[in-house]
Structure 1
Amino acid sequence: MAKTTVEEIYKAYEEIDKAGSNFEQVKKSYEIVISGAHGESNCKRLAAQFIPRFFGKFPDLNEAAIDALFDLCEDTDLNVRLTVIKYLPNVVKESDKVAVRIADALVQLLQNETSQEIAAVKKALEQVIRLSPRDSIVAIFQQSLKGSTEVRNRTINFLSNDLNRFKNDLFEKGDDVEACFANEVKKALRDSTLSEFETFLKMLLSLKMYQLEKKENLKELINVLIESIATESEDLDPTNYVKVQKFILCGKTLMPCFEKGVKSTPFLAFLVNKVLPKDKFNRLQEKQQKSMLRFLADCISGKHTEATIKSAAPIIKELFISEIPPAGDDVEVEPKLDLPRVEYIVFTLYCIASKIPEIVEGEDVSLRFKNLYVVSHKCIARIKQGLKDLQNREPKDQETLEKIKKAESGQIVTNNILNMIKELMKPAKARHFTKVQHSWQSLTSNTPLAPQTSAKRTAESVSPVDGTPNKKSRTTEEKSTIKLPQKSAVPKPPQNALPRNNQNRQTFSNTRNSGLSNNNFRNGGSNGRISKLNRNSAKNNHQTLYVPPPRRGM
Structure 2
Amino acid sequence: MPTVEELYRNYGILADATETAGQHKDAYQVILDGVKGGAKEKRLAAQFIPKFFKHFPELADSAINAQLDLCEDEDVSIRRQAIKELPQFATGDNLPRVADILTQLLQSDDSAEFNLVNNALLSIFKMDAKGTLGGLFSQILQGEDIVRERAIKFLSTKLKTLPEEVLTKEVEELILTESKKVLEDVTGEEFVLFMKILSGLKSLQTVSGRQQLVELVAEQADLEQTFNPSDPDCVDRLLQCTRQAVPLFSKNVHSTRFVTYFCEHVLPNLSSLTTPVEGLDIQLEVLKLLAEMSSFCGDMEKLESNLKKLFDKLLEYMPLPPEEAENGENAGNEEPKLQFSYVECLLYSFHQLGRKLPDFLTSKLNAEKLKDFKIRLQYFARGLQVYIRQLRLALQGKTGEALKTEENKIKVVALKITNNINVLIKDLFHIPPSYKSTVTLSWKPVQKADSGQKRTSEDTTSSSPPKKAPAGPKRDARQIYNPPSGKYSSNLGNFSYGELETLEEPCSVNYTPLGRMSVKQVPFQVLSRSRICCHDFFHVIVSIFFLITGLIIG
TM-score, normalising length from structure 1?
0.67
How has the CA–CA distance of structure 1 residues 326 and 392 changed in structure 2, closer, same or farther, with 3 Å as cutoff?
Answer: closer
Alpha-carbon shift at residue 218 of structure 1 (Å): 0.8
How has the CA–CA distance of structure 1 residues 316 and 401 changed in structure 2, closer, same or farther, with 3 Å as cutoff?
Answer: closer
Query: Aligned letter for 2:144?
Result: S
> What CA distance in whole angstroms lies between the structure 2 residues aligned with 1:87 and 1:120?
10
After superposing the two structures, state which structure 1 stretch, 390-399 or 236-245, moved more.
Answer: 390-399
How has the CA–CA distance of structure 1 residues 80 and 216 changed in structure 2, closer, same or farther, with 3 Å as cutoff?
Answer: same
Equivalent position of 2:104 in the other structure: 108
> What CA distance in whole angstroms lies between the structure 2 residues aligned with 1:279 and 1:407?
27
Counterpart among 9, 26, 33 of residue 35 in structure 1 = 33
> What CA distance in whole angstroms lies between the structure 1 residues aligned with 2:315 and 2:213?
35
> What CA distance in whole angstroms lies between the structure 1 residues aligned with 2:21 and 2:393?
95
Equivalent position of 1:335 in the other structure: 336
* Matched-pair contact (CA < 8 Å) for 1:442–1:459: no
Residue deviations 1:41-79, cap 9 Å, x none?
333233323333343443443322222222111112223
SS in 1 for 2:438: strand
Residue deviations 1:415-470, cap 9 Å, x none?
235324424xx6xxxx25340232x43533xxxxxxxx464467369xxxxxxxxx
Counterpart among 144, 149, 153 of residue 145 in structure 2 = 149
In the alignment, is residue 139 of structure 1 matched against residue 147 of structure 2?
Answer: no
> What CA distance in whole angstroms lies between the structure 1 residues aligned with 2:244 and 2:235?
14
SS in 2 for 1:137: helix
How has the CA–CA distance of structure 1 residues 171 and 280 changed in structure 2, closer, same or farther, with 3 Å as cutoff?
Answer: farther
Counterpart among 165, 171, 177 of residue 166 in structure 2 = 171
* Matched-pair contact (CA < 8 Å) for 2:103–2:139: no
Equivalent position of 2:208 in the other structure: 216
Alpha-carbon shift at residue 369 of structure 1 (Å): 0.9
After superposing the two structures, state which structure 1 stretch, 187-196 or 42-51, moved more.
Answer: 187-196
Query: Aligned letter for 1:202?
Result: K
Alpha-carbon shift at residue 36 of structure 1 (Å): 1.9
How has the CA–CA distance of structure 1 residues 31 and 222 changed in structure 2, closer, same or farther, with 3 Å as cutoff?
Answer: same
SS in 2 for 1:436: coil
The equivalences for 1:295-310 within 5 A come to: 295-302=289-296, 304-307=298-301, 309-310=303-304
In the alignment, is residue 418 of structure 1 matched against residue 412 of structure 2?
Answer: no
SS in 1 for 2:249: helix
* Matched-pair contact (CA < 8 Å) for 2:103–2:136: yes
Residue deviations 1:185-235, cap 9 Å, x none?
454445444444333333333332344xx11111111111222232x4434
> What CA distance in whole angstroms lies between the structure 1 residues aligned with 2:369 and 2:51?
80
Equivalent position of 1:271 in the other structure: 262
* Matched-pair contact (CA < 8 Å) for 1:339–1:413: no
> What CA distance in whole angstroms lies between the structure 2 residues aligned with 1:346 and 1:354?
12
* Matched-pair contact (CA < 8 Å) for 1:321–1:364: no
Equivalent position of 1:478 in the other structure: none
* Matched-pair contact (CA < 8 Å) for 2:192–2:240: yes
> What CA distance in whole angstroms lies between the structure 1 residues aligned with 2:352 and 2:136?
47
> What CA distance in whole angstroms lies between the structure 2 residues aligned with 1:406 and 1:418?
19
Equivalent position of 1:376 in the other structure: 380
In the alignment, is residue 122 of structure 1 matched against residue 118 of structure 2?
Answer: yes
How has the CA–CA distance of structure 1 residues 250 and 416 changed in structure 2, closer, same or farther, with 3 Å as cutoff?
Answer: farther
* Matched-pair contact (CA < 8 Å) for 2:50–2:86: yes
> What CA distance in whole angstroms lies between the structure 2 residues aligned with 1:282 and 1:110?
43
How has the CA–CA distance of structure 1 residues 105 and 46 changed in structure 2, closer, same or farther, with 3 Å as cutoff?
Answer: same
How has the CA–CA distance of structure 1 residues 273 and 219 changed in structure 2, closer, same or farther, with 3 Å as cutoff?
Answer: farther
Equivalent position of 2:499 in the other structure: none
How has the CA–CA distance of structure 1 residues 61 and 152 changed in structure 2, closer, same or farther, with 3 Å as cutoff?
Answer: same
The equivalences for 1:245-324 within 5 A come to: 245=236, 247-248=238-239, 251-252=242-243, 254-259=245-250, 261-276=252-267, 278-279=268-269, 282-285=272-275, 287-302=281-296, 304-307=298-301, 309-310=303-304, 312-324=306-318
Residue deviations 1:493-544, cap 9 Å, x none?
xxxxxxxxxxxxxxxxxxxxxxxxxxxxxxxxxxxxxxxxxxxxxxxxxxxx
> What CA distance in whole angstroms lies between the structure 1 residues aligned with 2:14 and 2:109?
37
Counterpart among 72, 75, 96 of residue 74 in structure 1 = 72
> What CA distance in whole angstroms lies between the structure 2 residues aligned with 1:483 and 1:322?
27
* Matched-pair contact (CA < 8 Å) for 2:420–2:457: no
How has the CA–CA distance of structure 1 residues 410 and 112 changed in structure 2, closer, same or farther, with 3 Å as cutoff?
Answer: closer
Alpha-carbon shift at residue 124 of structure 1 (Å): 1.7
Alpha-carbon shift at residue 252 of structure 1 (Å): 4.8
How has the CA–CA distance of structure 1 residues 63 and 403 changed in structure 2, closer, same or farther, with 3 Å as cutoff?
Answer: closer
Alpha-carbon shift at residue 89 of structure 1 (Å): 0.8
* Matched-pair contact (CA < 8 Å) for 1:379–1:414: no
> What CA distance in whole angstroms lies between the structure 1 residues aligned with 2:97 and 2:398?
73
* Matched-pair contact (CA < 8 Å) for 1:223–1:266: no
> What CA distance in whole angstroms lies between the structure 2 residues aligned with 1:420 and 1:183?
47
Equivalent position of 2:92 in the other structure: 96
SS in 2 for 1:98: helix
How has the CA–CA distance of structure 1 residues 144 and 9 changed in structure 2, closer, same or farther, with 3 Å as cutoff?
Answer: farther
- What runs of 5+ residues in structure 2 fail to find an aligned partner? 450-454, 459-474, 478-511, 515-554
Alpha-carbon shift at residue 353 of structure 1 (Å): 4.1
What percent of counterpart residues are identical?
Answer: 27
The Cα RMSD (Å) is: 4.1
SS in 2 for 1:110: helix
After superposing the two structures, state which structure 1 stretch, 33-42 or 375-384, moved more.
Answer: 375-384
* Matched-pair contact (CA < 8 Å) for 1:442–1:455: no
Alpha-carbon shift at residue 295 of structure 1 (Å): 3.0
In the alignment, is residue 226 of structure 1 matched against residue 218 of structure 2?
Answer: yes
How has the CA–CA distance of structure 1 residues 259 and 412 changed in structure 2, closer, same or farther, with 3 Å as cutoff?
Answer: farther
Counterpart among 150, 156, 166 of residue 160 in structure 1 = 156
How has the CA–CA distance of structure 1 residues 19 and 264 changed in structure 2, closer, same or farther, with 3 Å as cutoff?
Answer: same
> What CA distance in whole angstroms lies between the structure 2 residues aligned with 1:395 and 1:144?
51
> What CA distance in whole angstroms lies between the structure 1 residues aligned with 2:513 and 2:352?
33
Alpha-carbon shift at residue 82 of structure 1 (Å): 2.0
Query: Aligned letter for 1:436?
Result: S
How has the CA–CA distance of structure 1 residues 112 and 392 changed in structure 2, closer, same or farther, with 3 Å as cutoff?
Answer: closer
TM-score, normalising length from structure 2?
0.67
Counterpart among 168, 191, 194 of residue 197 in structure 1 = 191
Residue deviations 1:135-189, cap 9 Å, x none?
212321331464333333433343333454x3235635x2222333344445444
> What CA distance in whole angstroms lies between the structure 2 residues aligned with 1:325 and 1:109?
61
* Matched-pair contact (CA < 8 Å) for 1:320–1:346: yes
Query: Aligned letter for 1:142?
Result: S
- What runs of 5+ residues in structure 1 fail to find an aligned partner? 445-452, 462-471, 475-481, 485-554
> What CA distance in whole angstroms lies between the structure 2 residues aligned with 1:363 and 1:288?
34
> What CA distance in whole angstroms lies between the structure 1 residues aligned with 2:434 and 2:476?
17
Equivalent position of 1:443 in the other structure: 443
* Matched-pair contact (CA < 8 Å) for 1:44–1:72: yes
Alpha-carbon shift at residue 38 of structure 1 (Å): 1.2
The equivalences for 1:228-247 within 5 A come to: 228-230=220-222, 232-241=223-232, 244-245=235-236, 247=238
